C-alpha cells in the first residue's frame, strides 16, 4: 500500500507574503467602510456639480484627453504586455515566461470583471441625479443592494479607473525579481488610477468611492490569483519530484 504523499511545506517567506497581502486587503476594506460611513461621495460630487449639471462632463480635457486618451494608452500598455511574452522590456526580462503569462491573464481578468459587476449594479451615476439637473434618480448608497434609485443604474464600480488599476497586477509580478521596478510600477499605477477616478468624479460619471472600490477589487483579484498559482506550483513540485524518482528506480 502506497503511503499518501505529504503536503508541500509552505516557505516562511511565502507565508509572510500571503499574510501581508491578506492584511492589506482587510485594511483596504476597513478604509472603504469608513469612507462609506462618512458619506463623503455626495459632498465631493457637489464640488463639481450643480442644478445645471457638471461643467467638466464634456470638456475636451476631461471628456476627451483624460477619458478617451487614457483608455487608448491603457490598451497600448496591454499590447506591450502581449508583445512582452516574446520580446519583454528590459525590466521584465528577469521574469519567467509563465510569470509574464500570469501578469497578462490576470490583468485581462481585472479588466473584464469590472464591467460585469457594473451590469448588475442598481447604482446610477451622479449625472443622472435630479439634484444635478438631469434624470430622475435620487442618491442611494451603492452598498444598499436591491434598492433602486430611480435611474438607469449600471454605474458601480468605475470601469474607467480599471484602465489603470487593472495593472496593479504588475506589482505582484515584479516584486520578487525586480523590487525597485515593482515599487515604481505600483506608485505610478495608483497615482494614475486615483487621477482618473478624480476626473470621472469631476465629470459626474462616478462617485470617488466607485474608483476606490475598483482599486480594491483589482488588488484583491491580483493577490488571490497570485497566491493560488503559487500554491498550485508548490503542490506540483513534489509530484514532479516523485515521478522523477520513480523513473530513476525503474531505470
Locate the domains of the chain by residue range.
49-234
Q: What is the pLDDT of residues 180-239, one digit of tens each?
A: 999 999 999 999 999 999 999 999 999 999 999 999 999 999 999 999 998 888 776 654
Query: Rounded CA gap, 5 and 243, in Å?
Result: 12
Q: What is the pLDDT of residues 110-138, one digit of tens each?
A: 999 999 999 999 999 999 999 999 878 99
Query: Rounded CA gap, 104 and 131, in Å?
Result: 42
Mean pLDDT value across residues 133-144: 87
pTM: predicted TM-score of the whole model, two decimal places: 0.89
Amino acid at each position: 500500500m502506497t503511503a499518501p504523499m505529504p503536503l508541500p511545506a509552505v516557505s516562511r517567506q511565502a507565508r509572510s507574503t500571503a499574510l501581508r497581502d491578506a492584511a492589506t486587503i482587510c485594511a483596504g476594506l476597513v478604509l472603504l467602510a469608513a469612507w462609506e460611513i462618512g458619506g463623503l461621495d455626495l459632498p465631493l460630487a457637489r464640488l463639481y456639480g450643480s442644478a445645471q449639471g457638471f461643467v467638466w462632463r464634456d470638456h475636451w480635457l476631461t471628456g476627451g484627453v483624460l477619458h478617451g486618451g487614457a483608455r487608448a494608452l491603457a490598451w497600448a500598455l496591454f499590447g506591450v504586455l502581449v508583445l512582452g511574452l516574446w520580446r519583454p522590456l528590459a525590466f521584465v526580462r528577469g521574469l519567467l515566461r509563465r510569470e509574464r503569462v500570469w501578469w497578462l491573464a490576470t490583468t485581462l481578468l481585472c479588466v473584464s470583471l469590472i464591467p460585469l459587476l457594473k451590469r448588475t449594479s442598481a447604482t446610477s451615476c451622479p449625472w443622472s441625479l435630479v439634484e444635478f439637473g438631469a434624470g430622475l434618480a435620487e442618491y442611494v448608497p451603492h452598498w444598499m443592494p436591491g434598492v433602486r434609485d430611480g435611474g438607469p443604474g449600471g454605474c458601480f464600480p468605475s470601469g474607467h479607473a480599471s484602465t489603470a488599476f487593472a495593472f496593479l497586477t504588475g506589482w505582484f509580478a515584479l516584486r520578487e525579481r525586480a523590487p525597485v521596478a515593482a515599487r515604481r510600477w505600483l506608485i505610478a499605477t495608483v497615482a494614475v488610477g486615483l487621477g482618473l477616478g478624480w476626473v470621472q468624479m469631476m465629470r459626474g460619471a462616478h462617485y470617488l468611492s466607485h474608483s476606490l472600490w475598483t482599486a480594491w477589487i483589482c488588488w484583491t483579484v491580483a493577490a488571490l490569483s497570485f497566491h493560488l498559482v503559487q500554491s498550485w506550483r508548490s503542490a506540483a513540485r513534489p509530484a514532479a519530484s516523485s515521478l522523477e524518482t520513480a523513473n530513476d528506480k525503474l531505470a
